[in-house]
Amino acid sequence: MRRVRAVLRIVAVLLALAGGGLYLASYFRGGCLLLGALLAWGFERRLALGADFGARVRALARRAAVPAAGIAAALLIGAAIMALTGYSPLASYEALFYGGFVRNWHISVLNAVPLVFTGLAIAFGFHGGLFNIGAEGQYLVGVMAATWLGIGMGLPPLVGMALIFLVGALAGAATNLVPALLKVKTGAHEVVTTMMFAYAIRTLAPIFIRAHGGDPANTAHPYVTDAVAEGVWLPLFKDFLPEANYRLHVGILLAVACAFLVHFVLTRTDLGYRIRAVGANATAARTQGISVAWITTLSLLGSGALAACAGITQVLGLDHRMFQNLDAGYGWNGISIALLARNHPLAIPFTALLWGVLDAGGQYMARTVQTPNAIIEIVKGILLFLLLAEVIYEKFGTILRDRLKGLLDRKREVRS
C-alpha cells in the first residue's frame, strides 16, 4: 500500500513538472499532463485518507466557497456596470477569458510572478499579525538592488544571480528595520510607518534612475536605466522549450518554489510556529515565554525580504533594467491576492495567476472589443470588498437558510 502511494506521488510530481513545462509550449498536451498529475495526486490522497477523503474535500470546498462566491459576484456586478454603460458583458468576458487564459497565457504568467512574491510578503505579515502595506517600497528596493548589482558588475551567471537575490532580499528586509523597531519600542502602527517608507522610496527612486543612465526628462521613457549585464538574466523557457514564448522566464518556478518555502517555514519550523502564535494571540504567546518583540521584528523583516524578491525577479527576468514601474500598485494588489487566498501560501500562486489573467485578459479585451480595461480595476475593488464584508455572507446565509428551511418544511407538511 505504502509503495503504491509513494509511486503515485512521484508520478504526480513528474507529470506536474512535465505538464507545466509543456503547457507553456502547447496548451493542449501540457494541459492533459497536468490533469493527469492532479488525478494521480487525488488518488494518492484518497488512499492515504480513506474515509476522511470525502470530508477533507468538502472542507476544502467550504474554505474556497467564499472566495469563489466573491469572484463570481464581482464579475456579475462588473457585467452589470458594463451593460449599464453600453458595453456588452458577454463579448467582454469572452475576450477577457480567452485573452487571459489562452492566447496571452504567457503574459498572465509573467504578470503573476511579482504578484506571487508580494502576495506572499503580505500573507506572511498577516500570519504574524502585521499589516505590511508598504510592500511597494520594498519591491522598489529589490528592483534597485538588482539593477545596481547587475549593471556592469561582471558576475558569473549563477553566482551572480544568487548573490543578487541574497543582497536584494536583505535590502528589502532592512527597509522594514525602522518600522519594526518603532513598532516594538513605541507601538507605532506599521501601516503608517511602512507606507511612509514606501512613498519616501518612491519619491527618491528617480535619483537612482538618473545615476544609472535614466533620464527623467525623456518623456518617452523617463524611467529607464541601463540594462543589467546579460550574465545575470534569468533563463528563458525558450532555451529548452523552443515553442515557448520568447519572454517567459523561469521566475514563475522561483515564485512557486518560494510559496512552498514560505509554507514550509510557517508550518514546519519552530520559527513559523511562533510567528503564527504571536499573530493569533500575542498575549498568550507572551505568557508562554515567546518573545513577541523579536518575533514581530522577524515577521516584518521577512515580509520585506519577500516583497523585495518580487522586484529582483522582475528586473532579472523580464525588464532587465529598472523600468517605468514606479506606480504598479503591487502593494495594494498584494493585499487582495493574500486575502483571496485566505493567507494560505500555497493558494497564493493561484490567486496571483488569477490576477495576472485579469490583467492580461483585460488588455486583450481592450484591444479587441474596445471595452475599457478599467472595468477590471473596478471588479478587483468590488472583489476585495466582498471578501471582507463577511457580515453580508452571514446575513445572506441566514436568509437563504431560513427560506430553504421554510420551503422544505412546507413540502414536508404537504406530503404528510
Partner 1 sequence: MSVLASLLTPALFEATVRLATPVSLAALAAVISERSGVTNIAMEGIMLVGAFAAAWGGWHFGNPWIGLCCGVGAGALFSLFFAWSVVSLRINQVVAGAIMNILGFGLTRYLMMVVYGRQGTSEAVPRTLQECRFAIPLLSRIPYVGSALFDQTPVVYLSLLSVIGFAWLFKRTRLGLSIEASGEHPMALETLGRSVVRVRYLAIVLGGALCGLAGAFLSIENSNSFTEGMSGGRGFIALAANIAGGWRPVGAFAAALFFGFVDALQLRIQGLGIVKVASEIFLVFPYLATLAAVAGFVRKSRPPAALGRNFSVEHPED
Partner 2 sequence: MSLLKDTPPLLETRGVTKAFGGFVANRDISIRLHAGEIVALLGENGAGKSTLMNILYGLYRPTAGTVLLDGEPVRFASPREAIARGLGMVHQHFMLVPTLTVTQNIILGAEPVRLGHVRTREARERVRGLSERFGLTVDPDARVEDLSVGLQQRVEILKALYRKARVLILDEPTAVLTPCEVEELFAVLRRLAESGTAIIIITHKLEEVLGLSHRVYILGKGEIRGELRTSEADASTLARLMVGREVLLEARRDTEPVPLGEQVLAVEGVAARDARGLPALRGVDLEVRGGEILGIGGVEGNGQRELCETVAGLSRPEAGRILLKGRDVTRWSVRRRLQAGMAYVPQDRRGEGLVLPFSVEENLALGLSGRAPFSKAGFLDPRGFRAHAERLMGIFDIRAGGADVPASTLSGGNQQKIILAREFSRNPAFLLVSQPTRGLDVGAIEYVHHRLLELKARGAAILLISMELEELFALSDRIAVLHGGEVVFERQASATSLPEVGEYVVRGRAAGTGRAS
Least Cβ distance, residue 360 to partner 1 (angstroms): 17
CA dihedral 264, 267, 271, 276 (to 10 degrees): 130
What are the backbone dihedrals phi and psi of residue 134, each rounded to the nearest 5 degrees, phi first?
-90, 25
Q: Residues 289 to 348: which contact partner 2 by CB under 8 A?
A: 289-291
Q: How far apart are CA 63 and CA 54, in angstroms?
A: 14
Q: Does 286 bind partner 2 (CB under 8 A)?
A: yes
Q: How far apart are CA 287 and CA 232, in angstroms?
A: 48
Q: Does 392 bind partner 1 (CB under 8 A)?
A: yes
Q: Does 389 bind partner 1 (CB under 8 A)?
A: yes
Q: How far apart are CA 100 and CA 367, in angstroms?
A: 13
Q: Does 372 bind partner 1 (CB under 8 A)?
A: yes
Cα separations in angstroms, 193 against 186, 190, 200, 256: 12, 5, 11, 29
341-368 burial code (b ≥16 CB/10 A, e <16): bbbbbebbbbbbbbbbbbbbbbbbbbeb
Q: Residues 61 to 100: which contact partner 1 by CB under 8 A?
A: 81, 85-86
Nearest to 315 by CA among 200, 172, 164, 199: 164
Q: Residues 150 to 189: which contact partner 1 by CB under 8 A?
A: 178, 182, 186, 188-189
Least Cβ distance, residue 75 to partner 2 (angstroms): 31
CB neighbours (10 Å) of residue 46? 17
> Which region among 8-16, 91-99, 220-228, 383-391 touches partner 1 (by CB under 8 A)?
383-391
Q: Which is nearer to partner 2, 288 or 398 (CB)?
A: 288
Q: Which of 13, 284, 389, 407 binds partner 2 (CB under 8 A)?
A: 284
Outline where 2-88 has alpha helix (H): 2-23, 27-49, 52-84
- Contact partner, 290, from partner 2, partner 1, none, Cβ < 5-8 Å per class: partner 2
- What does the per-residue mask of binding to partner 2 show for 356-395, with x meaning CB under 8 A? ----------------------------------------
Q: Does 341 bind partner 1 (CB under 8 A)?
A: no
Q: Does 264 bind partner 1 (CB under 8 A)?
A: no
Q: How far apart are CA 339 and CA 380, in angstroms?
A: 12
Q: Which residues pair with 249 in a beta bridge?
A: 236
CB neighbours (10 Å) of residue 286? 15
- Contact partner, 182, from partner 2, partner 1, none, Cβ < 5-8 Å per class: partner 1
Q: Which residues bind partner 1 (CB under 8 A)?
A: 81, 85-86, 131, 133, 178, 182, 186, 188-189, 191-193, 195-197, 199-200, 203-204, 206-207, 210, 327, 332, 335, 339, 372, 374-378, 380-382, 384-385, 388-389, 391-392
